[in-house]
Each structure stands twice: as structure tokens, then as C-alpha cells.
Structure 1
Amino acid sequence: MAHSNFMQAEGMRSLGWAEFMTVEMANNRQTMAVKYWVPKSSPPNQKRPPQQRPLPSLSGKLTISIVQVKEKTGRKGFRSPRARVEHMRFDVHWEPENGALGVIPALEDLFMPPEQLRIDLDMESLLRTVIRWHTEGVMKFFQTQLQRGTMTRNIFSPQGDVVFVSNEGSPSSQIHLCADKVVIVTVDPRTERLTLRDTGDLAAAGREPRFAAITQPLNDAPFMLPQALVLLRNATITDLAEQKVQYLGLQSYRTRNFSADEIKKLGQDAQGHIYIQLGNFPTHYLVLVIIVQDFRYALISAKEVEHSMNHDLVMEDIGWLNVRRIHGNQVTIEGGMGPDPITGQKRKREDGMGRVGPSGEQYPASFRLETNVLRELYAYCW
């Protein structure tokens, strides 16, 4: 039986597991230890980035031993002593390593009931069960971190934004980024590598390189998954907005030559900007400000700083657009530093631009920037 388990383990190594799994025999070949998710050794001259915490040399160990069990037979009523019968059985022990993928799941998420640790002469099935259990613990840790972490709870805490899916053999997490865009995070059971994939056209032409650019460094520091998802979310929001801008034939920029202090005028909670230049007024921009829950919209005028070698700009005037009222035929500009200022004069545009005909469409949900809404905003500013 021990020989059969060893042959199964060696068979898995020959099928591509050899670089990430080791098999050792001990105790006169009565004990077999299988170590999984063993990382590849880094080249001696490769330096680890200072922010990267070291990962364990293995992520888990499954030990299968053949032990002798002595039992007494017979009945107490007989005068003769009960006979002792010896037989053999498997003893299975699983040791998940703290720090696998750079995280430490809750103990209850890594507790595996004894009845699950039965080998039944199928070592490969048992190993895959252990790895699936370990993966579920890691995924639940990331889910909790996304929903409760200081950096991410305002983004991913709404119900349904992070969903754990206990697929047979391949647990995963589904993370809602924005609009109808969802990314699926999985862990390869053989290599321990995190993989990001989309549920639709998120990885369409032009987006695959971004997935690769995020995934490669992420697997050097997998505990950075929450931060990577925030970056992916912001990039996806920006891409979707730029598609609408390009569809309308407008000119836009992700950055302008504003100093950090000038950019703060658009809100210190901003996570990105899209500056749409007004056709006949090159120093004026309709700005889409990306915040945690949705866009803010601002109309700004810019002026170049005198004697600036880098053509630095300053914002001369900022007006916040109330998109709900524009889309509802009540066009206003509000002064101040946000869409709902406590003070500030409101003035109604009198030339009729930005009026909306009856369309029956509702105001779009979070980051669902409709083309007709963007067209109306631009027409109002222009």
C-alpha cells in the first residue's frame, strides 16, 4: 500500500508537479511526506524588493504513515485472557504552513475534519482535497480583507461585490469592479500561482497585457492582491470612460501639467481623472473625477504659469456639475470643492444647452457612464 501511494505521488511529479512538489520516504518506507506548493528557488543574484516579505519555503505538508493498531478480542466473561490482534492502518496528518501566499487564514478555515483525511488508497485524490481546502482558507482570508480592510472596505464592502465560489476542485473569488465588469481570482492547485481572468470582455483586445502586468508581480507578492484589485478597478473605470469619450470623437487626457496641490482642488479622495478638452476653448476642460463610488464632474479653466519651463498649469476656476439636474433638464453649476457644497451660488444656464429630450432612461448606476449623458455634459460645458 505504501508503495502504491509513492508511485501515485511520483506519477503526479512526472505530470508537471515535480517543480512544485517533493516526495520523501522515511521510517523504513512506512512514512511518506508530500510537500506541495514548493516555490521555485530564485537565482542567487536576484534581489527581493524591499517591500516584499519573504514567503515560506513550502505551503503545506501531507504525511501518510502506516501504523500498527493492537486490539483485544474476546469477552470478559471468559476466564482466558482476551487475545491481542494486530493490524495495520493509515495515519494521515495535514500541516498547512502559515504564510502561504503571504497570508495567515483563520484557524477555523484551515481545520479539516478527520473524516476528510481518509486516503482510501487514492493519494492523488487526498492531496487535491487538501489543496482545495487550503485554497478555500486563503480565498476566505482575501474576501475578509477586501470587505473589511482599511484601504478596500469602502470599495468592496457592498453585498455581492466579493463572492466566494466553492467550485469542485477549484475555489475562486468573484470581484465586482464597476458597472458590469467582474474579475475572477483563482489559485492554481499545482503551482500556487494567483490568476486573474474576466467573465466577459474585460480581457478583450488591449486588456490582456494589463492582466499579465498585474499577475506577474502579484505572484512575487501575493499578499498585495487587494491593492492590485484596486489598481485594476481604477484602470477599468478609466478605460470604460475613455471608450465613451473616443466614441464621441472628443480629445481627452489622463494627466495635465498640474502640481499636486492643484490636483487636490479636485478632491483629495480622487483616484483618477480624465480631462476632456473643449473644442473651441483649449484651456477649458470637462473633468471626470474618479472617486470611490462614482464619478464627479467638474468644469475647469486652466492657465499656464508664467516663466514655467515645464509649461505648468494652474486651475483658475472650478465649477462642479450636478449631472442629475443636467440630465433632468435643470442645469446648474455649483461652486465649492464638491458636488454638494454647503455654500456656493447656483446659477441656471439660460441658453438652453444641455436640455434633455424624453428618453425614458434612468440615471446610470455607479460608473455606468452613458454616452448620451456625456454628450449632454460636454454640450453644456461647450
Structure 2
Amino acid sequence: MEQLVSFPEREPMLSKRLQNSQQISLDQSDVPNLRACYHCPALETLQIGTATALRDHELQTPIDTDTLIHYMGQPSMRTMILQDMRVVVTDDRSQSRYPPIEDLHLNRLGRLSSLELRRVNINADALVKLFRTCTDLRAFTLTRPSGDRAAVLLDELADNLRNVSCSLTSLTLGYNSVHKSPEITLLPSLRNMKTLLHLQIDPSMYLGRRLCPYRLPNHPVVVTRPASSFADLLPDGVQTLTLDIDMEQVMRLPDYRRDIITSIIGARAHLPNLAEITLFEDEAAGAAAVNMCSCGQCYRQVGRIWRGNPGRRSADETQERREFVKQLRKMDVKLFRDIGDGAGRYECTAWGSA
């Protein structure tokens, strides 16, 4: 039977683990004691938070930017992963029993190469403070929690990414946005990120999202872009592209996926290094979208898309589909599909049911 350790006894145990470990994973209960350890010379990978997503009504554990910056500045630190946390900027540290991070002789700019914020609620001020500490950040991941409040807006996120645009080679941005209110801002083009090689993104972060007009009639109309303009988002040097398709958008716009790929085909001359595209379509998210729809139009539309039964096509639609498949094969880019069932991705030779 596991022995329970009282709270006062956890601090020295945690400090010893941090000092002697290269990789360590901590849960939310250890967050209050993280400032107890100043010297972690061997620590390379630090993961804070559980991998199991919290429910919407559960409160996320807060962690302040000064604590994160302290560990980013450790001499061997390369990878930091936060899961289901809330990052806050702490201005008043007068009540803390540990000195401010600025007073420590270990204070230095970190050489962190990978920062992953998974289901993390963070605002623009906290994010820019972390980025200013990273002088050589190569990979960045930000996926927001489903119960998202007071988080960074998309235009603010783009402004903050400019601080690491000279070094970033891999970028992952996620929404967790099935049946959430639409954004009041959209992500601008990422073409200024010249070093970016690998991009994973929900296209609706750039294109905007369309929700059910019957179920949510009082939501304000937001600016959206046509799916055919998606290629304007992409940096010229991108090599691999993963698209987290929002199935609700496929319900609203049956040609959503095809229009996105068509825009990439049209911009092929500006994307000379693009080698593969992966479409990630989460079956669980699609099922959630079906269950939450309340109008008959939504049910009929999602049934047509999800069951792969588009009905009888006209001669023009059939010819258009054939031309699209020909263009896709001529583009010399491998197209993969992943339905989120754990089996991994498979290569597409046609366009499936779209």
C-alpha cells in the first residue's frame, strides 16, 4: 500500500528529485513547492500536469511565469511540457517566502529548445514573458482547454510569435473548439516565419468558424475568410503540414476540405518545399458535434459527411471531382489521413467522401 507523504515533507523530497534527475514528471500538487529548488544542473526535461484532460467545471492549477522562467534558465534544460495548467503573471511577490527570480544568481536566458503548452490557459502578457526568455526556441505547441477563459487572442498570439520567429522550425496550434463561441479575431498570415518547416494547425484559426444559426442565433457575426484563401497563411519554406479539421466546419461547408487543398494546389509555386499534407479528423470530436446539434439541417448534413454517403452527384460534380484528383496527383505532395482512432495515418489516393 502506498504511503501518504504529508505536505511539509514533500518539499525536500521534490528538491532532491529535481537536482538529481534528467527527466521528471510532476502533477499539480507539486506546483506550490517548485520554487524550493534553485539548482537543477542535470534537469533536461520537465513535465508538469497530468495527461488526462480536466472537465470544464474543474479549476486549473495556476503557476506563475517567474517559476517557469527559473526552470527554463537551468543549464541543461531543453524541453518543458505543461498540461492542464493556468499560467499567470505574478506582479507582487512580497508575500512569497522565496526571493524573486531576479535576485537569483542563476538568472539567465534559457536555452530551451521545445516548449509545449497542452490545454493551457495563458494570456498574452504571460506568453510574451516566456518567449523573451527563450533565445533558441525550435518547437512550440499551444492547445487551449475546452473551458477557455481569458486566453490569448489569435491576433495577440501572432504578435507574440514574432519574438521567436527567427528560430522556430516547428509550430503546433490547437483549438479544442467544437461548439464554442466564435473568435473575435483571426490569425494573420504566418509568411514572415521564414524558418518554419513543420506546421500543425486548425484551419479555422485562420479562416474563422461558422456555427449553427438555429442553435446559437444570438452570437455576433464575426469576420471569416473563404476556405480557398487558406494557402495565404502558409510560410514559403514549410515542408510538412498537418490540418486538424474541425468537423463542424465540414458540416456547414461540404467542400471545406477540398477548397483548402485546392488553394494549396494553386499556391504550389510559392511552396516549393512542401512534401506532405496530413488531414487529422478526430472521430470523437465529430461524434460530439453530432450529439450537440439541435436542428434537422445539421443532422442531415453531418450524416452525409460522416457516413461517406454524399448522395447522387450530378455529371458536373463528378467531372469536377475527377479533375481535383488529377490535380492532387500532379502536385507531387503526399496526402495522408488520420481519423484519430489510434491506428495512425494512411496515404490517400483519392478524396474520400468529401
TM-score category (smaller protein): under 0.3
Higher relative contact order (CA 8 A, sep 6+): 2
More strand by share: 1
TM-score by length of 1: 0.25
